[in-house]
Structure 1
Amino acid sequence: MTGTVRLSGQLICANDAEVAVVSQHLPEHIRLTRAEPGCLSFSVTQTADPRVFLVAEAFANRDSFAAHQSRTGTSAWFAATAHIRRDFDIIDD
Protein backbone atom coordinates (compact mmCIF):
# COMPACT_ATOMS: atom_id res chain seq x y z
CA MET A 1 0.00 0.00 0.00
CA THR A 2 1.41 3.38 -0.96
CA GLY A 3 1.10 6.67 0.90
CA THR A 4 -1.07 9.65 0.19
CA VAL A 5 -1.51 10.78 -3.42
CA ARG A 6 -1.99 14.50 -4.01
CA LEU A 7 -3.04 16.27 -7.17
CA SER A 8 -2.79 20.03 -7.54
CA GLY A 9 -2.98 22.44 -10.40
CA GLN A 10 -5.34 24.37 -12.59
CA LEU A 11 -8.36 23.84 -14.79
CA ILE A 12 -8.06 26.58 -17.41
CA CYS A 13 -11.12 27.63 -19.41
CA ALA A 14 -10.61 29.17 -22.84
CA ASN A 15 -13.81 31.23 -22.76
CA ASP A 16 -16.94 32.07 -20.76
CA ALA A 17 -18.84 29.12 -22.26
CA GLU A 18 -16.31 26.73 -20.72
CA VAL A 19 -16.63 28.54 -17.37
CA ALA A 20 -20.40 27.98 -17.57
CA VAL A 21 -19.90 24.25 -18.23
CA VAL A 22 -17.55 23.92 -15.26
CA SER A 23 -19.93 25.88 -13.01
CA GLN A 24 -22.87 23.72 -14.08
CA HIS A 25 -21.19 20.36 -13.46
CA LEU A 26 -18.85 21.18 -10.58
CA PRO A 27 -21.20 20.83 -7.57
CA GLU A 28 -22.12 17.23 -8.42
CA HIS A 29 -18.51 16.38 -9.26
CA ILE A 30 -17.39 17.67 -5.86
CA ARG A 31 -20.19 15.84 -4.05
CA LEU A 32 -19.43 12.51 -5.72
CA THR A 33 -15.67 12.82 -5.27
CA ARG A 34 -15.85 13.70 -1.58
CA ALA A 35 -18.05 10.62 -1.04
CA GLU A 36 -15.47 8.27 -2.57
CA PRO A 37 -13.62 5.85 -0.27
CA GLY A 38 -10.11 7.16 0.34
CA CYS A 39 -10.84 10.78 -0.56
CA LEU A 40 -9.10 12.86 2.12
CA SER A 41 -9.80 16.27 0.58
CA PHE A 42 -11.08 17.71 -2.66
CA SER A 43 -11.51 21.35 -3.67
CA VAL A 44 -11.96 23.25 -6.90
CA THR A 45 -12.03 27.02 -6.45
CA GLN A 46 -12.31 29.82 -8.95
CA THR A 47 -9.43 32.30 -8.88
CA ALA A 48 -9.44 36.07 -9.40
CA ASP A 49 -9.25 35.17 -13.09
CA PRO A 50 -12.75 33.67 -13.55
CA ARG A 51 -11.47 31.35 -16.28
CA VAL A 52 -8.98 29.60 -13.97
CA PHE A 53 -9.92 27.14 -11.24
CA LEU A 54 -7.46 25.82 -8.65
CA VAL A 55 -7.74 22.09 -8.06
CA ALA A 56 -6.41 20.38 -4.94
CA GLU A 57 -7.16 16.81 -3.99
CA ALA A 58 -5.72 14.15 -1.74
CA PHE A 59 -6.42 10.44 -1.62
CA ALA A 60 -5.36 7.94 1.02
CA ASN A 61 -3.32 5.85 -1.41
CA ARG A 62 -2.65 5.08 -5.06
CA ASP A 63 -5.55 2.58 -5.23
CA SER A 64 -8.14 5.12 -4.07
CA PHE A 65 -6.71 7.72 -6.46
CA ALA A 66 -6.88 5.23 -9.34
CA ALA A 67 -10.50 4.42 -8.45
CA HIS A 68 -11.27 8.15 -8.53
CA GLN A 69 -9.63 8.55 -11.93
CA SER A 70 -11.57 5.56 -13.25
CA ARG A 71 -14.90 6.88 -11.97
CA THR A 72 -14.39 10.37 -13.28
CA GLY A 73 -13.24 9.08 -16.66
CA THR A 74 -16.76 7.81 -17.30
CA SER A 75 -18.66 10.58 -15.51
CA ALA A 76 -20.92 13.38 -16.74
CA TRP A 77 -18.25 15.78 -15.42
CA PHE A 78 -15.57 14.38 -17.70
CA ALA A 79 -17.89 14.12 -20.70
CA ALA A 80 -18.70 17.82 -20.33
CA THR A 81 -15.20 19.09 -19.47
CA ALA A 82 -12.76 16.75 -21.23
CA HIS A 83 -11.83 19.44 -23.76
CA ILE A 84 -10.94 21.99 -21.08
CA ARG A 85 -7.20 22.44 -20.47
CA ARG A 86 -5.76 20.92 -17.32
CA ASP A 87 -2.36 21.60 -15.81
CA PHE A 88 -1.93 19.16 -12.92
CA ASP A 89 0.92 17.73 -10.86
CA ILE A 90 0.52 14.41 -9.06
CA ILE A 91 2.71 13.63 -6.06
CA ASP A 92 2.96 10.41 -4.07
CA ASP A 93 3.79 11.12 -0.42
Structure 2
Amino acid sequence: MADPTVRIEGRLICRDRAQADRIAEFLVEHVRLTRAESACLSFEVTRDPADALVFVVSETFVDAAGFAAHKARMVGTVWAEISEGATRDYVVTGLAPADG
Protein backbone atom coordinates (compact mmCIF):
# COMPACT_ATOMS: atom_id res chain seq x y z
CA MET A 1 0.00 0.00 0.00
CA ALA A 2 1.34 3.44 -0.92
CA ASP A 3 2.22 5.95 1.79
CA PRO A 4 -0.69 8.46 1.91
CA THR A 5 1.40 11.13 3.66
CA VAL A 6 1.69 14.51 1.94
CA ARG A 7 4.99 16.36 2.39
CA ILE A 8 5.81 19.93 1.41
CA GLU A 9 9.42 21.10 1.43
CA GLY A 10 10.81 24.34 0.08
CA ARG A 11 10.94 28.08 0.45
CA LEU A 12 8.52 30.95 0.84
CA ILE A 13 10.20 33.92 -0.86
CA CYS A 14 8.83 37.34 0.10
CA ARG A 15 8.44 40.28 -2.28
CA ASP A 16 10.27 42.66 0.02
CA ARG A 17 11.50 43.19 3.57
CA ALA A 18 8.17 44.67 4.71
CA GLN A 19 6.32 41.49 3.71
CA ALA A 20 8.99 39.29 5.29
CA ASP A 21 8.81 41.22 8.55
CA ARG A 22 4.99 41.00 8.60
CA ILE A 23 5.16 37.26 7.99
CA ALA A 24 7.73 36.88 10.77
CA GLU A 25 5.44 38.84 13.08
CA PHE A 26 2.49 36.49 12.47
CA LEU A 27 4.45 33.26 12.08
CA VAL A 28 4.07 31.99 15.67
CA GLU A 29 0.27 32.16 15.38
CA HIS A 30 0.26 30.57 11.93
CA VAL A 31 2.40 27.67 13.14
CA ARG A 32 0.23 27.24 16.25
CA LEU A 33 -3.00 27.12 14.24
CA THR A 34 -1.59 24.71 11.66
CA ARG A 35 -0.12 22.34 14.25
CA ALA A 36 -3.56 22.24 15.90
CA GLU A 37 -5.11 20.78 12.73
CA SER A 38 -5.88 17.10 13.24
CA ALA A 39 -4.21 16.10 9.95
CA CYS A 40 -0.95 17.98 10.62
CA LEU A 41 1.92 15.64 11.51
CA SER A 42 4.63 18.31 11.45
CA PHE A 43 4.91 21.95 10.49
CA GLU A 44 8.09 24.01 10.56
CA VAL A 45 8.65 27.44 9.04
CA THR A 46 11.88 29.26 9.86
CA ARG A 47 13.51 32.39 8.50
CA ASP A 48 16.59 31.65 6.43
CA PRO A 49 19.56 33.19 8.30
CA ALA A 50 21.31 33.79 4.96
CA ASP A 51 18.40 35.67 3.34
CA ALA A 52 15.87 37.73 5.33
CA LEU A 53 13.32 37.48 2.50
CA VAL A 54 13.20 33.67 2.61
CA PHE A 55 11.45 31.27 4.97
CA VAL A 56 12.30 27.57 4.90
CA VAL A 57 9.14 25.43 4.94
CA SER A 58 8.65 21.78 5.93
CA GLU A 59 5.12 20.42 6.33
CA THR A 60 3.68 16.92 6.68
CA PHE A 61 0.01 15.98 6.62
CA VAL A 62 -1.55 12.55 7.13
CA ASP A 63 -3.03 12.45 3.63
CA ALA A 64 -4.33 14.46 0.68
CA ALA A 65 -7.67 15.14 2.40
CA GLY A 66 -5.83 16.55 5.40
CA PHE A 67 -3.72 18.79 3.20
CA ALA A 68 -6.84 19.94 1.33
CA ALA A 69 -8.48 20.79 4.67
CA HIS A 70 -5.39 22.82 5.60
CA LYS A 71 -5.56 24.76 2.34
CA ALA A 72 -9.29 25.35 2.81
CA ARG A 73 -8.72 26.65 6.35
CA MET A 74 -6.23 29.18 5.02
CA VAL A 75 -8.71 30.95 2.72
CA GLY A 76 -9.51 34.42 3.99
CA THR A 77 -7.07 34.30 6.92
CA VAL A 78 -4.54 36.91 7.97
CA TRP A 79 -1.83 34.50 6.80
CA ALA A 80 -3.37 34.33 3.32
CA GLU A 81 -3.51 38.11 3.18
CA ILE A 82 0.04 38.81 4.31
CA SER A 83 1.64 36.01 2.29
CA GLU A 84 -0.20 36.89 -0.93
CA GLY A 85 2.28 37.51 -3.72
CA ALA A 86 5.13 35.67 -2.03
CA THR A 87 6.70 32.98 -4.20
CA ARG A 88 6.06 29.46 -2.97
CA ASP A 89 9.02 27.42 -4.20
CA TYR A 90 7.83 24.04 -2.91
CA VAL A 91 8.21 20.39 -3.74
CA VAL A 92 5.06 18.49 -2.83
CA THR A 93 5.11 14.70 -2.59
CA GLY A 94 2.24 12.33 -1.93
CA LEU A 95 -0.42 14.01 -4.04
CA ALA A 96 -2.00 12.62 -7.16
CA PRO A 97 -2.08 15.22 -9.98
CA ALA A 98 -5.79 15.90 -9.37
CA ASP A 99 -5.18 16.46 -5.63
CA GLY A 100 -2.71 19.38 -6.02
In the alignment, the residues of structure 2 paired with residue 36 and residue 74 of structure 1 have an alpha-carbon distance, to the nearest angstrom, of: 17
Q: Which runs of 4+ in 1 moved over 2 A?
A: none
What does residue 98 of structure 2 align with? none
Q: Deviations over 1:8-64 (max 9, x none)?
A: 110112321111111122111100000001100000011121111110000001111
1:90 alignment counterpart: 92
Gaps of 5+ in 2: 96-100
- Count how many residue pairs are aligned between Structure 1 and Structure 2: 93
Task: Report the TM-score when normalising by structure 2.
Answer: 0.85
Q: What TM-score, normalized to structure 1?
A: 0.91
Distance across 2 between alignment mates of 1:77 and 1:88: 17
| Structure 1 portions without partners, runs of 5+ | none
Percent identical residues: 41
| Helix, strand or coil at the partner of 1:69 | helix
Match of residue 68 from structure 2: 66
